[in-house]
Chains A and B, each alone.
Chain A
Amino acid sequence: MNPLLEITNLSAAVDGKPILKGLNLTVCAGEVHAIMGPNGSGKSTLAAVLAGRPGYEVAGGEVLFDGANLIDMKPEDRARQGLFLAFQYPVEIPGVNSTYFLKAALNEVRKARGLPELDAMEFLDLVRARMDVLHLDQSLLNRPVNEGFSGGEKKRNEIFQMAVLEPRLAILDETDSGLDIDALKIVAEGVNKLHRSDNAQVVITHYQRLLNYIIPDYVHVLHDGRIVRSGGKELAYELEERGYDWVTDHVKSERPELAAA
């Protein structure tokens, strides 16, 4: 099968400071990947680079999304091609109505896929069904995007948007942070329901906790801008037990050339 996402030797910098230093990752349709790592290892930078956030300079390497060069695409084109980033810190947008925003986004995405735009009624039917999955109150639709939402509401709103836009590749950037266990279960349940054989999910997290509810096929450990270890879901448990020091110490002893970088 052709990979959906193929990252080869990716390096990227923020404000001239190198963060990603030769990262490789391949994700195929139907797979769930978890990327774990300590603070500062480059997890959020990876998410930002993939979504095309301005200010992140790609210094080298290649990212192919369904065979096309992702780095050259505008953020909106990435989204239209089926890439979705669930933000670690969703942005409040005062004055922009949630329904209006989401309808505009969905119709852009549908246009790019050669589907007809939805009218107001069709849109509302779709949205209501997806809101139930995330246990979101429908009154949120009448409010400005994320404005005045609680932390949990913001995170659920991200997954709700994902449910509406139906991306082929979703990147969840620390979606578990700041969630209590009930909210975490709702979010995980939503993500699991959206999982299909023709899409893929990359779950970025600091803690193993989320992976009790979203079961990954692969777990990767990010350290100092590189994936230093990959394995099955059992790697997450091992990390939880032994801590990140275990991996980083391991790197130092096994591959001193990486540790020195």
Chain B
Amino acid sequence: MTRTLPTTPAEPRPLEAHLAAYEAFERSATETSPPWLRALRTSGISYFAELGFPTTEHEEWRFTNAAPLAQFPFKPVHRALRNAVTAADLARITFGGLRACRLVFVDGHFDMALSELLPHSTGAVMGSLAAAIERRGDLVEARLGRAAHHESNAFAALNTAFIQDGAFIHVPPRAVLEAPIHLLFIATKPGTVNQPRNLIIAEERSQVRVIEDYVSLAGSAYFTNAVTEIFTGQDAAIEHLKIQREGTAAFHVATIEAHHQRQSRVLSHSISLGARFARNDINLRLDGEGCESVLNGLFLATGDQVVDHHTIADHARPHCASHEFYHGILGGRAKGVFNGKIYVRKDAQKTDAKQTNKNLLLSDEASINTKPQLEIFADDVKCTHGATVGQLDDQAIFYLRSRGIGEELARQMLIKAFASTVLNRITVEPVREELERLLEERLAQPNA
């Protein structure tokens, strides 16, 4: 008897193309790489081969179907493309009025000519990871791959297998960087996969603000698979602002893994506006006493967009605080997912953890799956979490209209108000203002 197995669209393609691409990459580009990096990449591809692309059976992917990512033709960009970005392109996307060090990456590769490094006397190093591997191999080797979990996260594993370039920032002890560092990742080549790998190290008592910004000049589909590792030393302070404003046909997966030492302060933002498919994993490990962290996020999805945030605040030591605020705005037929985990390990007494996820549905067909999760193994802690899903307040709309404000403007005022509580936590003013403008522009589009 013969049986026909049903084929489901969720069935991912085999990994042959990815493995073959790795072999080709390994033969050509990696000849000059140091042995430790080759070992790290090998480890990456092994885990990727073992894990494969996640399906909806996977606990962390229950509500988001990764099949389109698995099926996306795997054409990594191994070399920077020259002259793909003009000065005019750049002017449009660099937050007018923002005084910042700017590192520009084209399809995942550092472009010195487009970058602008402000003179600084702090001894900080910022530039491409490729250059850092050559010049500061010891520093990179000690950290790269140590925060990201490529043994359990297939996308981090795939990124690790192809580590080549991305941003490298090293802030030495006690250095305080006044101007923020703007990492601008520009996708220009349709049909390609770019996999920047970023490493940010803020040593003891240093301070830095980093904007990690994904934007596109390509209208058609491409795939960004980024991994960022952040290390903060004792008493260091970092503000990390991830902005996802990819093209509307783009696939975007980003993994941010941060490791924090004693009494460091972390302000993490994730603002997700673009891409047809966006998945963000943002994981903080609070691995020293007295760390304070804020996880702040806003996602807007309209039309057929899918946006998924998975966050972890992992309290490993006592007296740490993590406060999380994620707001979602979903219109059209968009799908949102929020999964926020708080782990409080046995040693983490006096933990103060708070998590809220509020969602605004603008249409009947938009949806959100939200799941706050607490796992507590210590007994003297203060932990709260909550999630809400609602629509615009009719009473408030009527109140505004009764004062002469038109219905459409009233709706936009309320949506902006909902977003502003998150955006107001961003300290880099020109960026916050531009994000408010982008949000407004997006909401004014007909399918919102």
Contact = CB atoms under 8 A, between A and B. Distances in A.
Interface of A: 51-54, 74-76, 78-80, 84-85, 87, 90-91, 93-96, 100-102, 104-106, 108-109, 112, 144-145, 161, 165
Given A94-B417, A96-B417, A51 B406 contact: no
A69 B410 CA distance: 24
Contacts of B404: 76, 79-80, 105-106, 108-109, 112, 165
B22 interface: no
Interface of B: 393-396, 398-407, 409-410, 413-414, 416-418, 420-421
B414 A53 contact: no
A105 B417 contact: no
A146 to B, nearest CB: 8
A85 B402 contact: yes
For the complex of A and B, the 5 pairs showing the least CB-CB separation, nearest first, are: A95-B417, A79-B404, A105-B403, A108-B404, A91-B399
Contacts of B393: 91, 93
Contacts of A51: 402
Contacts of A80: 404
A92 to B, nearest CB: 8
Contact of B401 (A76, A84, A94, A109): A76
A101 B396 CA distance: 12
A185 to B, nearest CB: 25
Nearest to B399: A91
Given A93-B417, A94-B421, 11 more contacts: A53-B398, A74-B401, A74-B407, A76-B405, A80-B404, A85-B402, A91-B395, A91-B398, A93-B396, A104-B413, A106-B404
9 contacts: A75-B401, A76-B406, A87-B399, A93-B417, A94-B417, A95-B414, A96-B414, A102-B403, A104-B409
A159 B396 CA distance: 18
A54 B394 contact: yes
B398 A93 contact: no
A85 B399 CA distance: 9
Contacts of A102: 403
Nearest to A102: B403
A255 B304 CA distance: 63
Interface majority SS on B: helix, strand, loop or mixed? helix
A202 to B, nearest CB: 15
A105 B404 CA distance: 5
A80 B401 CA distance: 10
B406 A108 contact: yes
Given A96-B413, A96-B417, A165 B403 contact: yes
Contacts of A53: 398, 402
Contacts of B405: 76, 101, 104-105, 108
Given A74-B407, A108-B406, A93 B420 contact: no
A194 to B, nearest CB: 16
Contacts of A91: 393, 395-396, 398-399
B400 A95 contact: no
Contacts of B402: 51-53, 75-76, 78-79, 84-85, 87
A54 B403 contact: no
A105 B402 CA distance: 9
Contacts of A78: 402
B328 to A, nearest CB: 15
B403 A161 contact: yes
A19 to B, nearest CB: 18
A167 to B, nearest CB: 10
A161 B304 CA distance: 41
Contacts of A105: 400, 403-405
Contacts of B400: 93, 96, 101, 105
Contacts of A75: 398, 401-402
A113 to B, nearest CB: 10
Contacts of A109: 404
B395 A95 contact: no
Contacts of B416: 95
Contacts of B399: 87, 90-91, 93, 145
Nearest to A86: B402
Contacts of A76: 401-402, 404-407, 410
Contacts of B398: 53-54, 75, 91
Contacts of B409: 104
B346 to A, nearest CB: 39
Contacts of B401: 52, 74-76, 79
A90 B395 CA distance: 9
Contacts of B413: 96, 100-101, 104
A250 B398 CA distance: 38
A104 B416 CA distance: 14
B403 A79 contact: yes
Contacts of A90: 399
A108 B409 CA distance: 11
A144 B396 contact: no
B402 to A, nearest CB: 5
A172 to B, nearest CB: 13
Contacts of A112: 404
Contact of B417 (A74, A87, A144, A165): A144
A240 to B, nearest CB: 31
A147 B417 CA distance: 13
A84 B417 CA distance: 24
B420 A95 contact: yes
Contacts of A106: 404
